[in-house]
Structure 1
Amino acid sequence: MTSPTSRRTLLTAALAAAAGAGITASAGPASAAPASPARPSAPQAAAPLVDNRFWHTYTDWRRGSGDGTRVLTGPRPGLAIATPVGRTDHTDPHTGETAAWEYATWTSPLHRSAVPATELIASWNARTPAGTWIAVELSAAYADGTATPWFVMGRWASGDGDIRRTSVDGQGDPHSSVWTDTLSVDDAATGVRFTAYRLRLTLYRTPGSRLTPTVWRVGAMASAVPDRFEVPASTPAHARELRVPRYSQNVHIGQYPEYDNGGEAWCSPTSSQMIVEYWGRRPTAEDLAWVRPGLPDPQVCHAARYTYDYEYGGCGNWPFNAAYAATYRDLNAAVTRLGSLTDLERLVHAGIPVITSQSFLEKELTGAGYGTAGHLMTVVGFTPEGDVIANDPASPDNEAVRRVYRRREWENIWLRTKRYDANGRVRSGTGGVCYVYWPEGPTRGQRRVLRSFGLV
């Protein structure tokens, strides 16, 4: 159920003042005051905590700077190789094998974030036939006008025959560092913030071939969630339960230990597979032919293999899970943060289940029966009382996956950025991180709520 915390540090600290709401009074008029008393000014809206920007339309792709790429038209515009602009040798650090690749690039326009951010997380949706792969890089601008180098946020392929999909450790500059899939300010108390960023895609293929990857969506979530051990309680708004398949990760304990020791650590791909199938997609018999016969729910083994990050050493890389989901027909996926349980209710009410990331002591979540330093589960509904209905993969079997958790406990363990571990030490929380998957043709209501979060 837990992700390998030795390989991943979640840094979500930020100054509360940078994201808190403010109350200001309007200045008085220069002339004499009117006889009637002046109206008090209205409270200002709370500063946003999250800014999403995704490039996915034909216009989006055209506004970027392509070198050797072409923009694909049609109902799902994308980016592909037209004429390669170079050739390079790449040595895979996880196999030691060196191969030659042709490549083309595309660079996004500079996006100025509505949030002076302490963290940036990129995500993407792509197809990479055998003989192709992509690299996703990010460069962020600071408030003083300087910028980071280009950081690799992922070297990715849907398969694992050409390269091993991987994050890249050891990247940073004097102000920030990359932690697996997150670019984070090292010390938010210094006031350092990301004010803008660019993304760069490099599309690779076997030299001399006509193959190409296709990228349909790329973007990032910028956030500045304040330090907090507790979050304000929300008021229940919508009661609904979605019919999402239920899979337990624990029935896979000991299976395929090469993917992070087996099912015990497969909370993220198990959750991803539940929602992929909720939207009516699933791997084919041919896709699953590699799985040993007789294993239950072989599609969960499949999801674990194809979300595995060979540098991180686990299946919990957030963008890799989103990218895996988007390999299925006409599915979109993004990693983001939500600001409240009310936001999550809106998505579920529209028919969109959400995968959430949280960490907690056993005593902090009544009925869980375990504690965890990091765990993914799928929120599928809310009771009339507002409690959370979750498909929790950390269950003994599929029948036990559906859980009802107390609203107040659940929203706090998900939305906080600081917590105490079992030894009383302060640790980080995820601050509302989640995966959102939806079909290319959402309903009008689904599109409306997705648009409100900047996802479409």
Structure 2
Amino acid sequence: MSRAEQPSRRSVLAAAVAAAAATATAAGAAPALAAGAGPAVGTGPAAPAAPAGRAPARPVDYRAWTTYVDWRGGEAHGTEPVAGLRPGLRIAAAAGTTDYTDPHTGRTASWEYATWTSPVHPLTVPATEAVASWNASTPAGTWLQVELKGTYSDGTDTPWYVMGRWAAGDQDIRRTSVDGQSDGRSTIWTDTFSVDDPASGLRLVSYRLRLTLHRRPGTALTPTVWRVGAMGSDVPDRFTVPASTPGVAKELAVPRYSQEIHRGQYPEYDNGGEAWCSPTSSQMIVEYWGGRLTAGQLAWVDPAYADPQVCHAARYTYDYQYAGCGNWPFNAAYAATFPGLQGVVTRLASLTDLETLIAAGIPAMTSQSFLKTELTGAGYGTSGHLMTVIGFTADGDVIANDPASPDDAAVRRVYRRREFENIWLRTKRYNASGKVVSGTGGVCYLYFPARPTAHQRRALAAVGVR
């Protein structure tokens, strides 16, 4: 999160994309978006609004592979499905050995590997963007890579794009996104596949995901993947969104943590404070579901620091290429390292979706950007910030645990429904300089039990998550 409209790394990437697409913009096209920041911004008119109170059509398709039947499908080379209460995928016999030079340490090591490639998923929403997310266990001596390959609306294919190289720890490899991936028609911006020129009409109409599981040679170690999926979306350009009708009034008892009390802590993990909204929000939800860290896990944290679990979350969500803790899938994957939890990255369509989740006891982390004057009571402006929605008042206003607070006691906030709805769901906005920049278009993280209740399953299905 960046105060006073200081550029975040995502907004810097947005500017780079906008510059690359200047010709298209001049012709009325919308430049591609940056690093997961929502659909591209442009100078054209906003999409027509739906009538007030009516939920808009869902411009999102989230698909995941999670069941034993899922893992038996696709194409396996050295992997096998694992049955049980939480079905998964693991290495059965290595398909080969490869060398990997870690760009962040310079170390080269050999690794055995095995792969699994999903069936083709035809998108119900031809997409301008896609974000993959996954849940896995990676014991010491293991790690995994997630890739996406898609087909465009003109019948041609993308290359295999690396969506992340990930391990729960940081002793074997440094978890990382991969910059510089593009075929001239689409680009990977940290954690997000993005069509370069959405105004051209080009869309992603289907995709496959590929998992490559790695382990130290000669061992029986293996990662185990419980969930892998991707969210494809085509959210229309809009400065404003339709107003939803207030529904459920309920508040969930979610722990409250401030990112600001960590200002200046651990420069190697982006220096605490302003940069830690994502891991701070993640830790609040993890602990709401009962996730706890042991004294041994926290022993590395300076004992003078309050809320050491927030420092831990920052370290173990940190993306060494992005140089920050705001990689969306890395946060979801971190949450799923806690027993009995899973996490996804998706987009929601309205505050009605959030009310559906809150009614089922599921809080959500939302991503938004706004001027100081656009969110009454926040007291700051930001080019990108995560906060946790924990409920709604009787008037329909949003109750949020906002980590951009001076201390833990000040974290609970009540924000005006209409203001919050617009800053979260819009895809275009004006920054403090009057320039048109991108909004997130309803991005959120959802963390929930690996074995949800029937009510929770219905609520998740209602917002497109299964």
Shift of 1:19: 8.7
Paired with 1:18 and 1:173, the residues of 2 have a C-alpha distance of 29
The one-letter code sitting in structure 2 at the alignment partner of 1:200 is R
Deviations 1:246-274 (A, max 9, x none): 00000100110111122321000000000
TM-score normalized with structure 1 length: 0.93
Shift of 1:48: 3.2
Paired with 1:104 and 1:336, the residues of 2 have a C-alpha distance of 28
Larger mean Cα displacement after TM superposition, 2-11 or 371-380: 2-11
Note if contact 2:38-2:443 (Cα within 8 Å) is conserved in structure 1.
Answer: no
Structure 1 runs not aligned, ≥5 long: 23-43
Shift of 1:453: 2.6
Note if contact 1:20-1:46 (Cα within 8 Å) is conserved in structure 2.
Answer: no
Query: Is 1:343 matched up with 2:353?
Result: yes
CA RMSD of aligned residues (A): 1.9
Paired with 2:448 and 2:426, the residues of 1 have a C-alpha distance of 26
The one-letter code sitting in structure 2 at the alignment partner of 1:160 is D
Shift of 1:47: 4.5
Query: Is 1:235 matched up with 2:240?
Result: no
Note if contact 1:14-1:189 (Cα within 8 Å) is conserved in structure 2.
Answer: no
Paired position in structure 1 for 2:298: 288
Paired with 2:270 and 2:39, the residues of 1 have a C-alpha distance of 25
Q: 123, 132, 137: which one pairs with 1:127? A: 137
Shift of 1:174: 2.1
Paired position in structure 1 for 2:122: 112
Deviations 1:181-230 (A, max 9, x none): 00011111100000000000000000001100000000000101000000
Paired position in structure 2 for 1:173: 183
Note if contact 1:132-1:206 (Cα within 8 Å) is conserved in structure 2.
Answer: yes
Structure 2 runs not aligned, ≥5 long: 3-7, 15-33
SS in 2 for 1:342: helix
Note if contact 1:133-1:163 (Cα within 8 Å) is conserved in structure 2.
Answer: yes
The one-letter code sitting in structure 2 at the alignment partner of 1:13 is A
Paired with 1:108 and 1:310, the residues of 2 have a C-alpha distance of 27
Deviations 1:139-190 (A, max 9, x none): 1111111110000000000000000000000101121110000001111110
Paired position in structure 2 for 1:26: none
Shift of 1:275: 0.2
Paired position in structure 1 for 2:95: 85
The one-letter code sitting in structure 1 at the alignment partner of 2:9 is P
Match runs of 1:343-422 below 5 Å? 343-422=353-432
Query: Is 1:298 matched up with 2:298?
Result: no
Note if contact 1:306-1:324 (Cα within 8 Å) is conserved in structure 2.
Answer: yes
Deviations 1:315-351 (A, max 9, x none): 0000000000000001010000001111111101110
Paired with 2:273 and 2:226, the residues of 1 have a C-alpha distance of 31
Q: 256, 259, 263: which one pairs with 2:269? A: 259
Shift of 1:293: 1.1
Shift of 1:18: 13
Match runs of 1:40-189 below 5 Å? 47-189=57-199
TM-score normalized with structure 2 length: 0.91
Shift of 1:391: 0.1
Q: 311, 314, 327: which one pairs with 2:337? A: 327
Paired position in structure 2 for 1:29: none
Paired with 1:96 and 1:352, the residues of 2 have a C-alpha distance of 42
Deviations 1:301-326 (A, max 9, x none): 00000000000010000000000000
Instruction: Give percent identity, aligned residues only.
Output: 70
Distance 1:362 1:423, change over 3 A: same
The one-letter code sitting in structure 1 at the alignment partner of 2:110 is A
Paired position in structure 1 for 2:9: 4
Note if contact 1:19-1:49 (Cα within 8 Å) is conserved in structure 2.
Answer: no
Deviations 1:86-116 (A, max 9, x none): 1011000001110000000000000001001
Number of matched pairs = 436
The one-letter code sitting in structure 2 at the alignment partner of 1:333 is G
Paired with 2:98 and 2:85, the residues of 1 have a C-alpha distance of 33
